[in-house]
Structure 1
Amino acid sequence: MSENDFDFFHGHWRVLNRKITDIPGRGTEWVEFEAETEARPALGGGANIELLRAADWEGMTLRQYDPADDVWRIWWASSRAPGKLDPPLEGRFTDGHGVFFGDDVVGGQAVKVRFDWIAGDDPVWEQQFSYDGGDTWEKNWVMRFVRA
């Protein structure tokens, strides 16, 4: 693991999204939509910034490597929640698979959050929520990236 783990993601991407429309655990309808994103290195390569644009909203991700703790931290902000920066998820890559965990509140309920990153030429990102402390996980968003 190193500050180069997300280098595969630098550049412009077309994003194919599949997402549950409602709060996970209470909704089952999936929607599909496209977006575009650009990720670039920052802070001398030890971080990267991603700007995502969908039809009616924008999102921003900051990922930063902490060499002292040997972990990546990931923060998310969106125009759907102005002024809010989600708590960071923390994790690492092993053999091209990154797993990151954190805690948040969704719909007024405490939730554990998991991100899975599959690195490579056609990367995939998945988000899962757990409402029972991590005993069970519900996938609620999948992004597939195609180089633009």
Structure 2
Amino acid sequence: MSSAHDFDFFHGEWDVRNRRRTDALDPDSAWEEFPGTSRCLPLFDGAANLDEIDMPRLSAKGATLRLFDRATERWSLYWASSVTGTLFPPVTGRFEGGRGEFHGDDTYDGKDVRVRFVWSGVSRTSARWEQAFSVDDGETWLTNWTMDFTRPSGTHGE
């Protein structure tokens, strides 16, 4: 069952290994890898949080605001990019069995896409996030970005 403390593991500082496709909709596109750093701050006694990821290789930062709706026991995740200054449509979902799955609708390169975020391998010292797009309303998914989070040396979260 999902709770307001699902993302407590994420509070604090992280090193991030990014891996993304050069074309998010092309299964034959190359993957590129680059480092980043992230910091997540808890809000609303754990029922919300805000993180910022710094990706110097892309000359970009991103931020995610996560809000827990106690009535539906679902999270809404809102991504913003420093490149566009845009707040993207939310993905919503929950954690079950240690895995968080979140879905939403967006556009990419002028095409309507379903978006899926998955959080897995969650612990106080590591976690994995992945993003996938579907152009056929969720029949098939193409993973186009993964982030592997590890704690910097000497830190164990907040």
Short-chain TM bin: over 0.9
Matched, 1:80 2:53: no
Letter paired with 1:108: G
Give aligned pairs, total: 147
Q: Aligned partners of 1:117, 1:70: CA distance in 2, in Å?
A: 17
Structure 1 unmatched ranges of 5 or more: none
Does the CA-based 8 Å contact 1:63-1:73 persist in structure 2?
yes
Matched, 1:47 2:51: no
Please report how far the alpha carbon of residue 29 of structure 1 lies from its aligned counterpart in structure 2 after TM superposition: 1.1
Structure 2 unmatched ranges of 5 or more: 153-158
The alignment's C-alpha RMSD in Å is 1.1
Secondary structure (helix, strand or coil) at the match of 2:126 reads coil
Secondary structure (helix, strand or coil) at the match of 1:123 reads strand
- 2:126 aligns with 122
Q: TM-score, normalised by structure 2?
A: 0.90
Does the CA-based 8 Å contact 2:27-2:142 persist in structure 1?
no
- 1:102 aligns with 104
- 1:91 aligns with 93
Q: Deviating runs (4+, > 2 A) in structure 1?
A: none
Q: How does 1:1-148 map to 2 (within 5 A)?
A: 1-25=2-26, 28-55=29-56, 56-82=59-85, 84-118=86-120, 119-120=122-123, 121-148=125-152
Q: Aligned partners of 1:4, 1:95: CA distance in 2, in Å?
A: 14
State percent identity of aligned pairs: 44
